[in-house]
Structure 1
């Protein structure tokens, strides 16, 4: 979590640079998290597990307790004096700290086999808590079974561009049935060039509400009855159902760098929660990578605005035209750092991350890199 043993573990000390204003010691308090404590003393708080493990007196790098004294005085060496073990250990990033900001979204590879809303009480266009929805595809469902009502909001795809700096990642809005049409205003952005290979990444499902089955398909009735029993968003015909998960999120998250560095242009911000184009601290972003790229819960990335390629007007003349200048004659500008994000939910091809800190808004299309990336 904190700083390296400077003499015996020089590699850790070099990587885990202390902040200049650190105190001589710190007493762990109830309510602290490893991320918070690390951020107080380290310039790279995601390095705490490796540094913790560099100290042989620490038996478990995930367990420190209120009352423990962290010494930072002697040659910037971390030492821990155990306190009384009367309380629970301090978490890394507990779910309770971040859950208010998380969006209950998930990724599926297909919509075809999911049960769906085929009708609503009194032929309503929309339904909410206390009303019923009629479900097709719940054959054998028993009264009392609970389900999430979800809506397909986006379809994610990747366009591989050979010979160019970055692949393109596309999020396409869907209607309540999970369908997309030719009149959704995204024809240009959905164009697929014959030189590139496209890959489907998944459908994004947004939770609308929850419900309980009150009656199955009986006596010739071809739809089950679902009582909507919690506050949430409206339910429409075409919404899908998923079983309620007892624990959809990890109870705590241990921040760490990516297990492997992705090729430049392969990990980008594909969407910001609630349909925004920009996101800041405590906003949720969808990123174009998942378990197949070695991403797991707790992975920390830095977020970067990709540097523009501009015409050198001084060298090429003041009247140089940006649009007509060939790419090989343009000047590539540096990427610009925007913030850090931590992954909290991972699927095969897409992950969701929470922006932990930011110096400028993160935007759709921004690059994700190793948290230590210098540029």
Structure 2
């Protein structure tokens, strides 16, 4: 299990003039994995049964700043994870979702006993050609405006709930972490480092299972790194197998100069080869950084636009750990790690149901007082928002009782 690294730079899109308020909103051109699903294809054509709608589902709704896709799905549906059927999405749309923007009006179409959601009355998804939705004349003045269109779309989940977990946790194997570049020295012998400090690091190793790779500023080499202190093993609650190691994030650094060697003269007058570590500057310090902390290249930015949906295959799993919490039980809007990942078919947006393990107790109404186990009961919902090979991070969306390590997760239906 090896993380994929790279650099990401945000790009703003310059908009010279607003030409039409009714122009169709295009989805991001993202890679689509070919997985033909007959059921999903049928749902994309027929919509959803009327009895699947929420009791007070509105006929129309205007998207507002602060909305999330999950909240809007819950406004229209009893089961919000059935959003792709209501929105008439095929498999490509699910991975390449139609973006929804503040100011758009959503209309509930109940034609022929089936419900679909559109952005125009009686028209197509983009609302073009709808005779019932006349387009108002808008006067605009020529001006230059810079705006990121990707950031303007409403997110699937509240950004403040998952933002830290998109950048902080990292699942690595033990060997990758043990051979990662490490901080080896500080200026003036400082024990703790904070933002703005300078330090020195090495990627090469003299011994062990491998030599490592020297830190370099050559073209194509990573310059931005995250700093991690330790790697906690994540164990399967049932088998106790180690599924990966969760590295503890403490900050970010920038590589200023790469590693090198220099010739010098020793005290005995003989030439010697000095090892010169790389120079790094501390850019972000969530905690105080120190010698021995490990560096891993900044990974590419995670895709944040995805569609809430149930997995289209049977799957079960368990809660492995609670991220960033020392409490035994957690509630809504907290993050858990489960023992299923991309190797098991899980993807961002998959909604899973949480089950509370039924209690084991004695049946005191029976003279022999046998041991009985109560049925497992549904305890809430969670949504996967980040996957690794064997584990995934999920946000607890709804919960009746606290979630514990070992609790089971299953398909929501």
TM over 0.5: yes
In the TM superposition, residue 90 of structure 1 has moved relative to its aligned partner by: 5.0
Any idea what SS the aligned residue of 2:333 has? coil
In the TM superposition, residue 124 of structure 1 has moved relative to its aligned partner by: 3.5
* Residues 202-244 of structure 1, C-alpha deviations (whole Å, 9 max, x = no match): 1111221111123332322353222212231122333211111
What does residue 98 of structure 2 align with? 62
Confirm or deny that 1:152 pairs with 2:230: yes
- Aligned mate of 2:299, from 227, 236, 245: 245
Q: What is the 5 A alignment of 1:6-85?
A: 9=46, 12-13=48-49, 17-53=52-88, 62-64=98-100, 66-71=103-108, 77-78=115-116, 80=118, 81=121, 82=127
Q: Answer whether contact 2:70 2:157 (CA < 8 A) is retained.
A: no
In the TM superposition, residue 275 of structure 1 has moved relative to its aligned partner by: 3.0
Q: Answer whether contact 2:197 2:281 (CA < 8 A) is retained.
A: yes
What does residue 361 of structure 1 align with? 402
Q: Distance in 1 between matches of 2:217 and 2:97?
A: 46
In the TM superposition, residue 290 of structure 1 has moved relative to its aligned partner by: 0.5
Any idea what SS the aligned residue of 1:50 has? helix
Q: TM-score, normalised by structure 2?
A: 0.66
Runs of 4+ in 1 over 6 A off after TM superposition: 85-89
Any idea what SS the aligned residue of 2:192 has? coil
Moved more, 278-287 or 21-30: 21-30
How has the CA–CA distance of structure 1 residues 77 and 279 changed in structure 2, closer, same or farther, with 3 Å as cutoff? Answer: same
What does residue 254 of structure 1 align with? 307
Q: Which runs of 5+ in 2 are unaligned?
A: 1-41, 122-126, 128-132, 139-146, 205-213, 263-273
Any idea what SS the aligned residue of 2:75 has? helix
* Residues 118-145 of structure 1, C-alpha deviations (whole Å, 9 max, x = no match): 3333334332222233322161422992
What does residue 179 of structure 1 align with? none
How has the CA–CA distance of structure 1 residues 145 and 100 changed in structure 2, closer, same or farther, with 3 Å as cutoff? Answer: closer
Q: What is the 5 A alignment of 1:86-165?
A: 91=154, 93=156, 96=159, 98-100=161-163, 102=165, 104-110=168-174, 111-137=177-203, 139-142=214-217, 145-158=223-236
Q: Distance in 1 between matches of 2:97 and 2:87?
A: 5
Q: Which runs of 5+ in 1 are unaligned?
A: 160-166, 170-198, 321-328
In the TM superposition, residue 36 of structure 1 has moved relative to its aligned partner by: 1.6
- Aligned mate of 1:206, from 248, 261, 267: 248
Taking only aligned residues, the RMSD between alpha carbons, in angstroms, comes to 3.4
Q: Distance in 2 between matches of 1:54 and 1:123?
A: 59
Q: What is the 5 A alignment of 1:319-358?
A: 329-358=370-399
Any idea what SS the aligned residue of 2:229 has? strand
Q: Between Structure 1 and Structure 2, how many residues are aligned?
A: 312
Any idea what SS the aligned residue of 1:39 has? helix
Larger radius of gyration: 2
Q: Distance in 1 between matches of 2:68 and 2:159?
A: 11
